[in-house]
């Protein structure tokens, strides 16, 4: 799954973080390959890597077995007979309550939630970050500080007031409501990300555009936006994985027929009725995890940069 | 919003107008939701709201009931055990992995990709995978037994005494990759000359790490600590997916208590009181950190 090219991009990303911190060529000439130190070092790393890989392996293996084989009992054994039926069943037939149209419904619900949420949250946050970086007005920093402190407040504290606001607006339980919720909770980290990025751009560009008579929106669309595509991609990765993986807002702010994939997955796997079909469950789990995993492996370099920017500066 | 209007110059409000208009969503979110919503919840935690919020002041009743509830006490204990252990283990495992990765190894990118990929997955997926791996019949316990050790018992998800460790294992699997990445960035920020000086002085590597490098990485440790800690208080999805709070209510956590009381038990007051306690916990973690971080920055 992780082919060489994606690994290389991941490496470049980490290097980008530490760029400027390491000077000169790194590393000494290797002396002996099989020294005691090396055996211990790679041994420890390999053991750790196995621990991290094990669940993924178990998921894949289980999802390719038939139920009789799963009941034989060894979750680590590779399938004797590979079958894709659990995947088909998870996608198109798995039941939640009375609905038996599989995870595909949750998938499409998630897509419908994801696309507008990502677009709106990034649009709002990037403009806010731009205003904070280039068009500071009195009090702006105060609001920004509240926003950043708000990032640490547990969601549970703010959820009910939001329910009331959305109910008053008549959009509680609708897609619009959920998009607003995702925009709200994406604001702190994204605004910080954009504000820091815009502030790091050379201020001369901004001044030159001002002298040429460009206004707020003109500078944003014609100078800032085209110069900041990388940070937009980072923000997108952050939001796509974050919103796709969300569970709490999905449960609180949607109705059963518009549940996102994570909620539906949990309902399928943890349902108490019927026989537990572990292979179908694992196929469903893999399907739900597939989107963020693909984002991770494809965008490795920027993914790491995103979480590093979000985490270290946060 | 009145704060953005300084007194004195009458035309000040119109200056920079576009920027102010563009910031309206941010201001609304900060003031109405983050500030207003939090205050609202705190205020209504002193009422006896049930199905709908009603302003019927009852003082500390909800808090008394909260702390008398055995389910809340279990939640708090779980959070304490889970929180302390997950802080220690994430920092230790994250740092050790980062230190190993920093030895100029080959395949660094492969290892990093492997350690970090669980972080891309949701807690729901994490919980469900580990539910399966820890399944007593088919998972680790079943396998060890089938190898001949018949009395081997490792069924954290079905044993109320150790269920929280089962959740801890899954949480560490998901989160330590991120800690490792942060630590590695910190390690790479240490000047090479420090290492050279230590080597010249003949200090063993482990002592250099403990007495020189780790103290130098204090900011990274503090940031990581705050991140992990605020994540711990919020833990919810993982428990829902892995155990649904069971067996019995042995793996309940505060976040789940809040959700259940607000949206299932129709007991809003209890939910508000419990979430205010969560807020308090976070405040205890954040305020000292914010004081150090931002108070120091102004002086420096």
> Which residue would you say has higher pLDDT here, B59 or B14?
B59
pLDDT digits (tens, 9 = 90+) for A117-171: 999 999 999 999 999 999 988 888 899 989 988 888 899 999 999 999 999 999 9
- Count CA within 13 A, CB hemisphere, residue A190: 29
Q: What is the DSSP string of B140-162?
A: HHHHHHHTT-TT----GGG-TTT
Does residue B211 sit within a domain?
A: yes
> At residue B16, does pLDDT exceed 50?
yes
List the single residue in A52, A247, A312 with the smallest CB-CB distance to B122: A247
Task: Count CB neighbours of B289 within 10 A.
Answer: 16
pLDDT band at residue A32 using 50, 70 and 90 as cut-offs: low
**ipTM of the assembly?**
0.85
CB contact under 8 A, B109 and A14: yes
Residues B89, B39 share a domain: no
Cβ contact, residue pair A161, B227, below 8 Å: no
> Nearest-5° angle of CA A254, CA A255, CA A260?
60
If pLDDT is split at 50, 70 and 90, which confidence band does B229 have?
Answer: confident
Query: Is the CB of B288 inside 8 Å of chain A's CB atoms?
Result: no
Residue B51 inside a domain? The answer is no
What does the mean pLDDT of chain A come to?
84
- Identify whether residues B13 and B135 lie together within a single domain: no
User: For A60-72, how does the pLDDT look when each residue is reduced to its tens digit (9 = 90+)?
Assistant: 999 998 888 888 7
Residue B281 predicted with pLDDT over 80? yes
**Per residue in B175-204, pLDDT tens?**
999 899 889 888 988 888 888 898 899 888
Contacting residues of A for B224, CB less than 8 Å apart:
311
Would you say residue B57 lies in a domain?
no
CB A216 within 8 A of CB B19: yes
**CATH, domain A104-313, list 1.10.357.10, 1.10.3720.10, 3.30.70.100, 1.20.272.10:** 1.10.3720.10
β-bridge partners, B134 = none
Residue B270 in contact with residue B46, Cβ under 8 Å?
A: no
Most confident of A36-40, B55-59, B95-99: B95-99
B-chain CB neighbours of A155 within 8 Å are: 234
- The boundaries of the domain holding residue B9 are 2-44
Whether B124 sits inside 8 A of A312 (CB atoms) is no
- Whether B246 has its CB under 8 Å from any CB of chain A: the answer is no
Do B24 and B113 lie in one domain? The reply is: no
Question: Is B173 in Cβ contact with A52 (below 8 Å)?
Answer: yes
Q: Is the domain of B244 the same as that of B95?
A: yes
| Residue A261 CB contacts under 8 Å (≥ 6 apart), including other chains | A103, A106, A107, A109, A110, A244, A287, A288
- The answer to whether position B58 is within a domain reads no
Each residue of B158-176: pLDDT tens digit? 888 899 999 999 999 999 9
Tell me what pLDDT residue A19 has: 47
More reliable by pLDDT, B2 or A47:
A47
Same domain as B35, residue B120: no
Q: Which residues are registered as beta bridge partners of B47?
A: B57
**What's the CA gap between B250 and B262, in Å, rounded?**
20
Between A34 and A171, name the one with better pLDDT: A171
Query: What mean pLDDT, rounded, does chain B reach?
Result: 87
In chain A, where are the structural domains located? Answer: 104-313
- For chain B, what is the domain count? 2
**CA atoms B98, B104, B109, B114: torsion sign:** negative
What is the reported pLDDT for B253?
93
> Is the pLDDT assigned to residue A225 strictly greater than 60?
yes
Identify the burial level of A215 via C-beta atoms within 10 angstroms of its C-beta, where 0-12 means exposed, 13-18 middle and 19 or more buried: exposed
Residues B166 and B113 reside in one and the same domain: yes
What number is the average pLDDT over the span B20-46? 93
Q: What is the pLDDT of residue B3?
A: 45
Q: Are B179 and B291 found together in one domain?
A: yes
Name which of A21, A144, A312 is nearest B182 (Cβ-Cβ): A312
Residue B53 located in a structural domain: no
């Amino acid at each position: 799954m992780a082919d060489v090219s994606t690994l290389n991009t991941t490496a470049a990303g980490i290097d980008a973080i530490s760029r400027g911190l390491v000077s000169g060529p790194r590393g000494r000439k290797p002396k002996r390959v099989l020294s005691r130190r090396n055996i211990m070092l790679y041994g420890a790393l390999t053991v750790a890597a196995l621990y991290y890989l094990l669940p993924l392996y178990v998921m894949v293996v289980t999802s390719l077995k038939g139920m009789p084989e799963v009941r034989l009992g060894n979750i680590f054994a590779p399938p004797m007979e590979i079958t894709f039926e659990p995947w088909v069943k998870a996608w198109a037939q798995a039941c939640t309550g009375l609905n038996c149209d599989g995870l595909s419904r949750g998938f499409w619900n998630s897509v419908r939630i994801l696309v507008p949420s990502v677009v709106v949250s990034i649009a709002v946050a990037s403009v806010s970050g731009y205003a904070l970086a280039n068009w500071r007005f009195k009090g702006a920093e105060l609001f920004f500080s509240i926003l950043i402190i708000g990032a640490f407040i547990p969601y549970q504290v703010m959820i009910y007031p939001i329910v009331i606001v959305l109910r008053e607006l008549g959009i509680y339980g609708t897609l619009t409501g959920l998009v607003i919720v995702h925009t709200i909770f994406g604001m702190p980290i994204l605004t910080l990300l954009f504000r820091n990025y815009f502030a790091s751009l050379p201020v001369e560009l901004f001044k030159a555009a001002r002298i040429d008579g460009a206004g707020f929106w003109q500078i944003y669309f014609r100078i800032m936006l085209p110069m900041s595509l990388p940070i937009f991609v980072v923000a997108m990765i952050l939001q796509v994985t974050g919103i796709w993986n969300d569970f709490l807002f999905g449960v609180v702010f949607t109705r059963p027929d518009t549940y996102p994939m994570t909620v539906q997955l949990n309902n399928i796997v943890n349902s108490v009725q019927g026989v537990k079909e572990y292979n179908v469950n694992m196929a469903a789990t893999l399907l739900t995890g597939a989107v963020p995993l693909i984002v991770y492996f494809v965008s490795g370099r920027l993914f790491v940069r995103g979480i590093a920017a979000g985490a270290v500066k946060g | 919003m009145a704060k953005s209007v300084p007194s004195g110059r009458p035309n000040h409000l119109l200056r920079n107008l576009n920027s102010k208009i563009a910031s309206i969503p941010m201001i609304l979110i900060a003031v109405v939701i983050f500030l207003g919503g939090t205050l609202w919840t705190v205020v209504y935690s002193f009422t006896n709201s049930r199905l709908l919020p009603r302003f019927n002041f009852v003082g500390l009743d909800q808090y008394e009931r909260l702390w008398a509830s055995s389910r809340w006490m279990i939640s708090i204990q779980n959070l304490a055990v889970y929180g302390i252990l997950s802080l220690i283990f994430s920092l230790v495992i994250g740092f050790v992995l980062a230190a190993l990765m920093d030895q100029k190894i080959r395949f660094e990118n492969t290892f990093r990709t492997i350690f970090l990929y669980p972080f891309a997955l949701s807690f729901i997926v994490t919980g469900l995978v580990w539910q399966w791996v820890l399944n007593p019949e088919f998972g680790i316990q079943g396998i060890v037994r089938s190898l001949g050790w018949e009395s081997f018992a490792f069924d954290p998800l079905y044993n109320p005494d150790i269920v929280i460790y089962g959740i801890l294992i899954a949480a560490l699997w998901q989160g330590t990759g991120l800690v490792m990445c942060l630590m590695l960035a910190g390690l790479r920020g240490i000047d090479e000359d420090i290492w050279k000086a230590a080597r010249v002085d003949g200090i063993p590597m482990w002592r250099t790490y403990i007495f020189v490098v780790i103290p130098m990485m204090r900011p990274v440790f503090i940031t990581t600590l705050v991140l992990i800690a605020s994540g711990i208080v919020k833990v919810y999805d993982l428990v829902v997916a892995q155990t649904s709070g069971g067996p019995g209510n042995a793996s309940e956590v505060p976040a789940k208590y809040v959700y259940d009381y607000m949206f299932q038990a129709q007991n809003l007051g209890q939910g508000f009181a419990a979430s205010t306690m969560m807020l308090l916990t976070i405040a205890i973690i954040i305020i000292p950190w914010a004081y150090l971080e931002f108070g120091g920055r102004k002086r420096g």
